Structure 1
C-alpha cells in the first residue's frame, strides 16, 4: 500500500445542497425529475483526510426512490459521518460495514444515495492522494471512451421528432425512451416515433421504471420486439421477482433490471432464479463504487450482460459512472443524461463530451475540479422550516 494512503484517516464529512440550473424538463413513470426554469437540487459531499479531500454527489429524486434532499443531508450529517470519522480512508470495506451499522439494510440496502455520495468522495480522495485516476487505483480500465445515449424527453410524436433530431445533431447515435407514462397504445406510439426519426439501425432501448403489470409488460414486449428495441428496462416493480421470472421466460426482448438491483446480493438472487437478462450498473442506486464494482464483477462472472445508467447526475456523478463503466468495458451506449438536463457550474475542469461520446478522465481521482467557492454560492438550506 502507498505509504501516503495508509496514514489517511477521515477527519471531516461536509454536505452541501446546491441548486443547479435545469436546461429542460424530464419525467419518469413515477413523476417529474426535472422542470425547466426550476433549480435541480443535488447534494454534494466533501470528505477530508490529512489535508486531502474528495467530492461525491447524491441525486434526490422522490419520483424514483424514497430518499429526498432533506433525508440525504440528515442521514449523512447525523448517521454516516459520525460512523466513519477516524476510520482509515483507504479501508472502504470497513466504511461499508460502518454504514450498514449506522443505517441498516431493509429489503436490500439502506439509504443507498446517501451512502454513495460518501463512498464516491472517498474514492476521489484516495485517487487524489495517490496522484492517479480511479482506473489506475483499481488496476482496471478497459475503455478510454464511453458512448452516451440520448434520452428522448418528448411524449408526443411531434415532441419525439424534435428530441431525436436534437440528439442526432449533438452527435448521439443511440436513444433511450421513457415509457409507462401513458396507456399502452400511446407508449407504443412514442417508441414508434423514435424508431421512425432515429437513424437506421440506431440502438433504442426503453425504460418503464416499474410501471407495468406482468400481462401489460408481455403485451408491450411483443410490440417493442416488432420495433427492434434492444432492451426492456425495469418493466415491473423492483421486488416482483416471480413476475420478472415469468416475463423473462416469455419476453421476446431482453429484460434489463435497474431498481431491482440495489445490492449485489439482489443480482445473485435474480441469477439463481433465472430472472434477468441484463444488469444495469448504476453507481448511486447501488450505494457507491465499492458495491457497484462487486455487482459488475458478479454479473461478468455469471455471464449476465452489463449496461450502464445514471441518475440525472451532475458532473461528479457523471465522472464516477464513466470510471466504473470503463473498468468493466461496457461497450453498449449508456444512459448518463445529466448534461442533457442540468448544468454543473461548480466544476472548473471536468469530463469532455464530444459528439455523444465521453472521454474517461485521466486526472487524479474522479478527474473533476470542484470550485468550492461556487459550491457555497449555490448552496441552499433544504432543512429550513416551511410555513
Structure 2
C-alpha cells in the first residue's frame, strides 16, 4: 500500500463562546476557530483523516502556514511512500521542514500524522488503539475549561461544570493577574471536590509565580501549569523548589528531547501531552512513555480541536493511562465541525465510537460549508 494523494482543507468553524488565554483571543463568536483537515488516500482506496488546530496566539503556526506547508512541502514528500512506517514518514517531513530551536511546523505535521494513524488502523480493520496493540480504553474523564477574569462568572461556570458531571476544572489565569487569586478562590469554593488545574500560558515572572503558587497551595490547587515563559526551564526549576503545588510544563515541551531536558533540569513534576504540539500521535506517545519512565506525571490537553483531534487525543490518553481529567475543550467552544458521527460526550466523559480508525465519519458537505478562502 502506498500514499496516492494528500488533500488539505483550511476551515473556519463557528464558535458558541469566546475563548482567550493570557496571550489573547484564540477564537470568538465573530471570527470563528481556524482548523485544517487533511485527507490521505492510499492506492488501494483506503482513506484516513487528520486535523490541525493552529492559533497564532498559542504558537507561530497559522491557518495559512499550515495549509501551505502541507500542500507545498509535507504532502508531496510523502506521495508514493508506505503509510504504515510512521517513523520514516516523520523523518521525511523533518527533512522537508527543518527544526530550529523548536520542531519545525509541528502542528502542520500533526494533521498528517493523525491521518496516517487513521488510515493505518482502517487498513487493518482496527480501532485506533490497535495500532499500538492496545485495547479500547474506558471513558476518559474531561476537565471543564474556565476562561474569565470575573470571579462571579468563574464560580457560576464551576457550578455548571459540577452539575454536568465534569470531573475536573482547568482555569486560565494571567488574563487580569491582579484578580487571579480571587478567580481561583471562587472556583474552589463553588466546586471543592473537582480536580483543579490552573494554567497560566506563560503569563508570569518568577517572583509573581512564586507568590501565586503560595496562595494556590493554601486554596488547594492540584497543579500549576506553565507559569513562566517556555524557554525558562531553570526558572521553572527554581519555582518548583519553592512551590507547594506541582508544576506542569506545556509550551516548554514539544518533543521527546524537551521531555529529557525537563527531567535533566528538574523543571517539572508533570508533562502536558498534546498531539497537536508534538507532531501528532507518534511523538506524543513517545513523550508520554519517556516522562512515565522518568517518574513524571502526565496531563492530557488539547487546542480546541474538533471531533477528529479530540477522539484521537482521548484514545492516546487512555493508552497512556492518564487518569486525571483531560483538557479536551473543543466541544465547550465549537458550535459545529465537519464530523457527521464519532465520539460522544456524556456525564463529563468521552465515550468512544464502535468503529475502525479514529472512528469519525466526515461530512464533506460541511467541508464545503466551512471552507476558508485563502
- With the length of structure 1 as denominator, give the TM-score of the two structures: 0.94
For residue 158 of structure 1, what is the aligned residue in structure 2?
Answer: 152
Shift of 1:142: 7.3
Change (3 A) 1:264 1:362: farther
Aligned pair partner of 1:203 in 173, 179, 195: 195
Q: Is the 8 A contact 1:142 1:329 kept in 2?
A: no
What secondary structure is seen at the aligned counterpart in 2 of 1:316? helix
Shift of 1:242: 1.3
Q: Matched residue of 1:194: which SS?
A: helix
Unpaired segments ≥5 residues, structure 1: 1-7
Residue 38 of structure 2: aligned partner = 45
Give the direction of change, closer, same or farther, for the CA distance of 1:326–1:91 in structure 2 (3 Å limit). same
1:215 aligned partner: 207
Once the two structures are superposed, residues 86-128 of structure 1 have per-residue CA deviations (whole angstroms, 9 ceiling, x without a partner) of 1110011111101110001111311010000000011011111
- Alignment partners' CA distance in 1, 2:39 and 2:98: 23
- For structure 2, the residue ranges without an aligned partner over 5 or more in a row are none
Kindly indicate whether residue 138 of structure 2 is the aligned counterpart of residue 138 of structure 1.
no
Contact 1:154 1:163 in 2 (8 A): no
Deviates more, 1:58-67 or 1:353-362: 353-362
Q: Quote the residue 1:84 is aligned against.
A: 78
Contact 1:326 1:360 in 2 (8 A): no
Alignment partner, residue 3 of structure 1: none
- Note closer, same or farther for the CA distance 1:141–1:233 as it changes in structure 2 (3 Å cut): farther
Deviations 1:112-148 (A, max 9, x none): 1000000001101111111111112211247311100
Counting matched residue pairs gives: 373
List per-residue Cα deviations over 1:23-54 (Å, max 9, x = no partner).
10110000001212432221111111121111
Does the CA-based 8 Å contact 2:270-2:296 persist in structure 1? yes
Residues 286 and 292 in structure 1, CA contact (< 8 A), matched pair in contact too: yes
Q: Which residue of 2 aligns with 1:346?
A: 338
Q: What are the superposed Cα offsets for residues 310-331 of structure 1, whole Å, 9 maximum, x if unpaired?
A: 1111101101101110111110
Give the alignment's Cα RMSD to 1 decimal.
1.2
Alignment of 1:287-302 (within 5 A): 287-302=279-294
Once residues 317 and 361 of structure 1 are traced to their aligned partners in structure 2, the CA distance between those partners, rounded to angstroms, is 14
Query: Which residue does 2:24 correspond to in 1?
Result: 31
The 1-side partners of 2:315 and 2:107 are apart by 18
Name which of 175, 190, 194 aligns with 1:181: 175
Aligned to 1:11, the other structure's residue is in SS state strand
* Counterparts of 2:116 and 2:81, CA distance in 1: 11
1:190 aligns with 2:183: yes
Contact 2:38 2:49 (8 Å CA) reproduced: yes
